[in-house]
Amino acid sequence: MSKKRCTFVLLMLAALALGSILLAACARPGTPGASAGTGPSSSATSSSGGGEPTVHLGAANFVQPSVDVPKGSKLMLIEDVAVLHILSNGSWVNGSPRPAKEPGAPTINNLQVSGNVEIGPFPTAGTFHIYCSIHENMNLTIIVK
Ligand SMILES: [Cu+2]
């Protein structure tokens, strides 16, 4: 009888411990996919309603030519038109693709974008360039500060 109760108590303790481990895992900030700063550590967001910066991709262009990214943040690429883009470090210059990777830039090497893709993080302040090798003059300037 008392042995049975003891087992029950142990089981309850085990369940509690497991529960708190799961809770701690869920509450960890920076989990991918967890959206829009409800966490306590969202003091880094300076403007534009929180969340990471985004750039939209049209049929053959970046909808905006440049984007500001807070240092350490990632950049979300959002495809507005269902067209494949292949992105790399560098830019189009006078009608020719010029691969080039600035120091401190995250490596982007023939990244196929169909749907939404996150690039980065961008740990270093500076100006970085990416381009789409399929679409002439499809350049994006990323300003990290
Ligand atoms: Cu493209």
DSSP structure string for 43-86? TT--STTSS--EEEE-SSSBSSSEEEE-TT--EEEEESSS--EE
**Residue 85: its pLDDT value, please?**
97
Q: How many angstroms separate the alpha carbon of residue 84 from the centre of ligand 1?
A: 6
Residue 71 has pLDDT above 50, yes or no: yes
How far is 74 from 57, CA to CA, in rounded Å?
Answer: 16
Q: How many angstroms separate the alpha carbon of residue 59 from the centre of ligand 1?
A: 7
Q: How many angstroms separate the alpha carbon of residue 77 from the centre of ligand 1?
A: 12
Alpha carbon dihedral 101, 106, 107, 109, in 10-degree steps, equals -100
Q: How confident is the model over 1-35, as pLDDT tens digits? A: 455 665 665 555 555 565 554 455 545 444 344 44
**Residue 32: its pLDDT value, please?**
43
Q: How many angstroms separate the alpha carbon of residue 103 from the centre of ligand 1?
A: 24
Q: Please list, in sequence order, all residues whose beta carbon lies within 8 angstroms of the beta carbon of residue 43, skipping any fewer than 6 positions away.
A: none
Q: Give 55 or 36, the one with higher predicted confidence.
A: 55
**Which segment of 44-53, 63-72, 101-110, 124-133 scores lowest on mean pLDDT?**
44-53
Give the chain's mean pLDDT.
Answer: 80
- Give, in order, the Cα–Cα distances in Å from 52 to each of 71, 124, 127, 138: 11, 16, 18, 22
Q: How many angstroms separate the alpha carbon of residue 29 from the centre of ligand 1?
A: 33
| Helix, strand, coil shares, percent, the chain, to 5 | 20, 30, 50
CB of 110 closer than 8 Å to CB of 100: no
**Which segment of 24-28, 96-100, 112-116, 118-122 scores lowest on mean pLDDT?**
24-28
Q: How many angstroms separate the alpha carbon of residue 121 from the centre of ligand 1?
A: 21
What amino acid occupies position 133? Answer: S
Q: How many angstroms separate the alpha carbon of residue 106 from the centre of ligand 1?
A: 19
**Residue 51: its pLDDT value, please?**
79
Alpha carbon dihedral 59, 60, 65, 70, in 10-degree steps, equals 60
CB of 51 closer than 8 Å to CB of 35: yes
**Which pLDDT band holds residue 97 (cuts at 50, 70, 90)?**
very high
